[in-house]
Amino acid sequence: MKLVLIILVGLSLAVAGWFNNVKEGLEIAKKENRPVAFYFYGSHCPYCAQMEEFVLNQEDVQKKLNNFVVISLNISSDDGSKWARKFGVPGVPTIVFYDPKQDKALGAIFGSRPRGEILNYINNICRKANLKTC
């Protein structure tokens, strides 16, 4: 199961061009004037694997997430736990949408959710962040 989760996270990262380095991701976000989507996951989280396989890897979700700099963080890592505390992440999987210019969270969605619900949430965040390309 652990290997499957690692492979799924690796596939997600490769497909979406996600970052796992916060500093690098934030630099890109500021340089490109884009908001950030922090994706918090756990190594042994079956709900994370479900989200990665059935939601986050879907083409329509990937297209919406391309409007953001996506930073994927294992909640057990030093950076993952630090940023999870900053945002009050209740568990995994969680996606926190963040405006690095204002150092402000735009919203968060917790748990394994259906694709349609994730898409609706991202659309609402796009409107909140005034993203014309979403």
Span 55-72, pLDDT tens digits: 999 999 999 999 999 999
Total-model pTM = 0.88
How much is the average pLDDT of 14-41?
90
Q: Report CA-CA distances (Å) from 119 to 55, 62, 78, 95.
A: 9, 10, 29, 12
Average pLDDT, integer, range 95-103: 96
